[in-house]
Amino acid sequence: MISTTNLQRENHRRSADPVKKTATTILLTLIAAYFLLPLYWLLVSTTKTTQQLFNTPMLLFPSHWNLLSNWHWLNSYQHGVFWRWAINSVTYSLAAAVLGTLISAMAGYVLSMYKFKGNKAISTSILGALMVPAAALAIPTFLLVKSIGLINTYPGVILPMLLNPFGVYFMTVYIREAMPAELLDSGRVDGANDYWIFFRIGLPIINPGLVTLFLISFIGTWNNFFLPLVLLSKSQLYPLTVGLSIWVGNLNTAGTGMPLYPLIMIASFLSVIPMLILFGVLRKYITSGITMGSVKS
């Protein structure tokens, strides 16, 4: 027989559930609005002229759209240099993400699946490297890249981005939790070497983690401003981050005395679209990649 106290507790819990769900929904809605509102404002701003940007409500579309004019201006301004910067950003990000993810996965595989002298020291060093700010490495990186003659080159920007302490740490933890230790033994019994085990057996198992790290690396490289600024002086090699910062510095000139606000708005919005598409395509892999490593196989 259920006591009166237990019934009261059960009724209180049931009555509190709707309130809790409502409060959670409101909180999540506010958080979503906080992140989506700037993107919506950017979309609205692409349809406005300079006068409309300052004289109309910031979150309302204008009565007369100027989107096509802004689009044509973007394509013609400085001979369409925006698209050159976009191609550069894709090149830097794709190369750094693919190669960096592979290198991090190989390093994480070794650190998690093999026991050797110095393993813990290397892992500790990687954790320590996470604490070093990127700005502190700017001058050493510049001098190193300059010494091998890669200033103002694509490899000069890509190579430093391949060294990703976070990626190595992430893959070490992920592989340790997601890949059974018996995998090495069973593979060796079948006569497979370590490379075959990693590429033919290991990679399919850790695929969600690879996709997650790929996206993190791609976004990090896409948004990287400081390193390209230090290593590049030729405008044709700039990524979008550096190129758009130069436009922001020349807001009121535009070469003809025309303000650059509409140009920067549409360029900024277009620079966000690849990230949205990439995240949408890889979303299910990211979710499984983040959660799988927390559960021991």
Per residue of the chain (297 residues), give pLDDT as tens: 445 565 555 555 555 577 788 889 999 999 999 999 999 999 999 999 999 999 999 999 999 999 999 999 999 999 999 999 999 999 999 999 999 999 999 999 999 988 888 888 998 898 888 888 888 888 999 999 999 999 999 999 999 999 899 999 999 999 988 888 777 778 778 777 888 888 888 888 899 899 999 999 999 999 999 999 999 999 999 999 999 999 988 875 555 556 789 999 999 999 999 999 998 888 777 766 555 544 444
Contact of 164 with 104, CB cutoff 8 Å? yes
Q: Which domain does 13 fall in, by range? A: 4-68
Q: Are residues 45 and 174 in the same domain?
A: no
**Separation of CA 51 from chain center:** 34
Q: Are residues 18 and 158 in the same domain?
A: no
Number of domains in the chain: 2
**Does any domain span residue 58?**
yes
Question: Of the candidates 43, 68, 93, which is a domain's last residue?
Answer: 68
As a whole number of angstroms, the distance between CA 221 and CA 262 comes to 26
Indicate which CATH number applies to the domain containing 255: 1.10.3720.10
Q: Are residues 280 and 248 in the same domain?
A: yes
**Does any domain span residue 297?**
no
Model pTM?
0.85
**Does any domain span residue 106?**
yes
